[in-house]
Amino acid sequence: MLLYYISTLILYIYQCMRSLIITPLIFLFSFPYIGICQEIDLFAQFNGRYNYTAIGNTLNSLENNTTNLCETLLLPSSSASLSMQPNQNIIAAYLFWAGSGLGDTQVKLNDSIITADDTYNVSYFPVPSLELFYFSCYAEITNQIISEGNTDYELSELDISDVLTSQAGYCQSSTNFAGWSIYIIYEEATLPLNQINLFQGLEIINRNVQEKVITLDNINVLDNIGAKIGFLAWEGDNALNFGESISINGNVLSNPPLNLANNAFNGTNSFTGETNLYNCDLDFYNIENNIGIGDTQVEIKLTTGAIDPSNNQFRADLIILNNIITVLNSQLPDATPSINSITNDCGSRTIEVNYTAYNLNSTDPLPANTPIAFYIEGVLIAQTQTQNTIPINGSEAGTISIDLPTTVTENNFILEMIVDDDGNGNGTVVETMETNNSYLLRANLIPLPQITDLNEMIACDVGYNSATYNLTEALGQIQNHLGFQYYNTIEDLNNDFNEIIDPEAFEAQNTPESVFIKADTSACYDIFQLPLITKNCPPIVPQGFSPNNDGFNDFFKIQGLYTIFEKHELFIYNRYGTLIFKGNDALKWYGKSNEGINNQGDIIPVGTYFYVLELNDENFKTPLTGWVYVNY
């Protein structure tokens, strides 16, 4: 049991307690009474010539502290009237409803069924063995309020009867309640430029936890004239005003005669002057003298509980705070970013980022040269800045090319853009909101494609290991691509440099040699390697020639021999079998003899001669033999 109490206490402190001042002795014996709550945090912010109003009502027919008869207290419905001025333009509207139990998440407002966007819960131990729960729901109803306008709004079908029937503790502790409220944020041209912050959650004070301190952040005060703060609270009782107070920055608030300094939660509506919102408080206070120019924080303190002098007994009201709303003069910009796209070429480590810097939720222009930083996993990789002053509700688009550092090793990463960041995490511009300057977008580098090998192409050597190829003939091996380019090296392909202009008549100078084909796809391209093999083809030997120096057919022209079979040897014999000529790649036969004793260098007579051609090639080991006719 002790372990349970301790764990419950730790959870409560983590979730709720901003400030709790009790003696060690009280602490030891009080923790069984501690319950749950949900911290009040910033929910929505509005910047412009804005203000707010609120209406609401209760379903309690009487203050529940006056009787324990639950069945006589709860009404099936209640209504309130909205009266906006013609020059007041509705910006946003929210419906809140609350009561005993864990929650009724669907109600009806006029003829519309409303389902909760979210539900908050708190709990309270009136005695150590009994935990009672309370709830608050909210829903955004802007369109309905704009559509129906000034009229009576009736809330119905908020039913907690089963809760009260199944758990008598609500009636016994006089904490049986239900009620509702509508907040309306509106624009009016004659208003100053204000910042409206709506904070919501559900926090509780009671006889067990008699003090609560709530710190509100994200506030910027440029002028405190007309500053006000409002509250929506539940379960306050007019008859229980023992030690009850609400203060801001150490100053107790009051609004007499509606809300006295020692009875802030007494079932009233400051907007309408109503005093019969039993167990529902819908109030606001002027705080011009309680907040200073330049403040970025407000401290709210709630207290309850004191000795009743009539009987010398301790008494305390149970108060459930649902939301806090502030209206402060604030002429400030609000820088927010968006990454519109990230593009990257195949195999490149350079990304191009298209972005936009906005000044939307603002009351002042965003100055030029506002810094912009880009991060990957918290590491700064690039910086830029806005070029122009961005007006209220304006934006500026930009583009930046970023060379990724070697520390970025993954092809898939998250790029973070932060506007109003000097690269060290510091802002240079005071803004209406300092927590919305970041934008994240996942980026994907396109890796260099793998090389796919194609079947080799073979052509005959036309001299000195060169050959001509029609590279387009290899496209039959490639399917479903958008276009093709040809390159001598993979480096040329990746850099798009030295493209082969005439692929249908490509001359290979070496063997083996490879050509690289870039085949475009919709997203990138594929790479194919085409091997080119130049081989020596069998020579074509003519059957005659005429060495008469007329410029035509003057030597024994064997096609595919010279500069191809560079180690060949040619032997010519007369009809008697006498060797008369011996040639090689540098010595062609022009019909003269260079062998024999008597006829070296002499022109040979007309007739038939016989040849033996030794190619001296490992692929042609058998000599070519035959005859040739020489005629002048």
- Report the C-alpha dihedral over residues 189, 192, 195, 196, rounded to 10 degrees: -60
Looking at the DSSP assignment, which residues form a beta bridge with residue 251?
Answer: 248
Rounded to whole angstroms, the Cα distance separating 620 from 564 reads 13
Tokens 């994200």 -> residue: 218
Q: Residue 512 gets which letter from DSSP?
A: S
Question: Could you tell me which residue, 452 or 347, shows the higher pLDDT?
Answer: 452
pLDDT at 43 over 80: yes
Reported as a single tens digit per residue, the pLDDT across 371-408 is: 999 999 999 999 999 999 999 999 999 999 999 998 89
How confident is residue 3, by pLDDT bands cut at 50, 70 and 90? very low
Helices then strands, counting H and E runs in the chain, come out as: 6, 39
The answer to whether residues 461 and 585 touch, using CB atoms and an 8 Å cutoff, is no
CB 312 within 8 A of CB 224: no
Quickly state the pLDDT bin for 32 (edges 50, 70, 90). very low
* pLDDT, average across residues 23-52: 65
Amino acid 59: pLDDT: 94
3-state secondary structure of 202: strand
Q: Residues 206-259: pLDDT tens digits?
A: 999 999 999 888 776 766 778 899 999 999 998 888 999 999 988 899 999 999
Residue of higher predicted confidence among 94 and 479: 94
pLDDT over 90 at 184, yes or no:
yes
Mean pLDDT in residue range 131-154? 97
* 623, pLDDT greater than 70: yes
Cis peptide before 542 (omega within 30 of 0): no
How far is it, in rounded angstroms, from Cα 163 to Cα 475? 78
Residue 8: pLDDT above 80? Answer: no
More confident residue, 617 or 69: 617
pLDDT value of residue 193: 87
pLDDT of 91 = 97
Strand pairing class (211-216; 336-344): unpaired
d(C-alpha 53, C-alpha 385), whole Å: 40
Residue 401 contacts residue 352 (beta carbons within 8 Å): yes
The pLDDT, as a whole number, for residue 293 is: 77
CA dihedral 323, 327, 333, 335 (to 10 degrees): 0
Cite the beta strand spans of 188-335 per DSSP E.
194-205, 211-216, 223-234, 245-248, 251-252, 280-286, 298-303, 306-308, 313-315, 319-329
Q: What is the pLDDT of residue 356?
A: 98
Domains and CATH numbers, the chain: 2-329 (no CATH), 342-420+436-444 (2.60.40), 451-535 (2.60.40), 538-632 (2.60.40)
What is the reported pLDDT for 44? Answer: 93
Q: What percent of the chain has pLDDT above 90?
A: 67
Please compute the mean of the pLDDT values over residues 579-602 and round it to a whole number. 86
- Residue 224 has a pLDDT of 73
At residue 490's C-alpha, the angle toward residues 485 and 493, to 5°, is 35
| Torsion angle of C-alpha atoms 169, 175, 179, 181, degrees rounded to 10 | -130
Amino acid (one-letter) located at 609: Y
* Residue 60 and residue 174 in contact, taking contact as beta carbons nearer than 8 Å: no
* Mean of all residue pLDDT scores within the chain: 88
Pairing of strands 525-535, 607-614: unpaired
Residue 25: pLDDT over 60? no
- What residue has token string 């200073």? 292
Q: Decide: pTM greater than 0.85.
A: no
Q: What is the pLDDT of residue 223?
A: 64
Q: Where are the alpha helices (DSSP H) in 59-181?
A: 142-148, 161-166, 169-172
Q: Per-residue pLDDT for 324 more than 50?
A: yes
pLDDT at residue 99 in the model:
96
- Rounded to the nearest 5 degrees, what angle is found at the Cα of 115, between the Cα atoms of 110 and 120? 120
Q: How many CB atoms are closer than 10 A to CB 241?
A: 20
Q: How far apart are CA 103 and CA 134, in angstroms?
A: 7
| pLDDT tens-digit map of 328-369 | 888 889 999 999 999 988 878 899 999 999 999 888 899 999
Q: What is the mean pLDDT of residues 424-446?
A: 91
Distance (Å, whole) CA 373 – CA 425: 9
**Does residue 464 have a pLDDT over 80?**
yes
pLDDT at residue 21 greater than cutoff 70: no
363, 195 Cβ separation under 8 angstroms: yes
Q: Is the pLDDT of residue 169 over 70?
A: yes
